[in-house]
Amino acid sequence: MIADLLLHPLLTKMAITAMIVIATAVAAERAGPQLGGLIASLPVSAGPAYVFLALKSDDAFIATAALSSLYANAATGLFLLHLALVSARLSAVATFASGLVLWMAASAILRALPETLPLGIVLNIAVYGGAIVITRRMRFVATGNRAAKGVADLLLRALLVAGLVGTVVTVSDWIGPGMTGAVALFPMTFTSVGLLIHTRLGGAANAAAMASALVAMNGFTAALVVTHLAALPLGRAIALGLALCVSLGWAAVLLAIRRRRAAGIPARP
């Protein structure tokens, strides 16, 4: 009976996350690589993880975790840059295996630095700014035909992301807010969605999606900063709500720019 009471809330959280991931992956595949990268950059796994953490942790925990996530977010920028550069030349497995190794190494190195908000912001500006310049011409590419595949691979990837969220929520009390913030940013959603695009639309399409995600991730970076700054004075619930608005607002701006381009109206990227 006790075990049932403990597992039921966790399984519910994981099921909710899995459904979000499936919807995101399908939408990203159907929308094409550019919009797919934008969709994948939304807080699909980190968002639920933070919401569930907020239900069991205090404001200080969320503020500290968000600062640690900011550092891990810089590692994610290097991860996306790597994917954009090698996806067209390597197999899906080689691309993402090497990318995840890079993310873990970069995250460990960045976590060794002093955790301050100014340094975290500078790191993200440097990483994403440089990566966006490098991949500027890679965001637009003609994609191949969609490969016919079943839903088993999609379900597996959704379960992996749900498992990550379940792990973060379960071990957060043991590993503390700093490590929790880093683990919550593990790029499982990008891996899940990217593998789907790579295997169904091709490596060049995945490169375009990850290059587009680099631009879209500016909104998520700002959302982490807002969460860190607002959690203590305003409370974690308001902080996460503001962060979501920032993330969605940036996505809306990028969509508006894309529509202007499609209509033939000049707009800066």
Q: What is the pLDDT averaged over residues 72-100?
A: 92
pLDDT of residue 167: 58
- Name the band, by pLDDT with cuts 50, 70 and 90, for residue 269: very low
Dist. CA 232–CA 255, nearest whole Å:
32
Element (H, E) at 265: none
Alpha helices for 32-58 (secondary structure H): 33-40, 46-56
CA dihedral 80→81→85→89, nearest 10 degrees, is -30
On the question of pLDDT at 48 being above 80, the answer is: no
Q: What is the pLDDT averaged over residues 23-49?
A: 71
Percent of the chain with pLDDT over 70: 70
- Name the band, by pLDDT with cuts 50, 70 and 90, for residue 229: very high
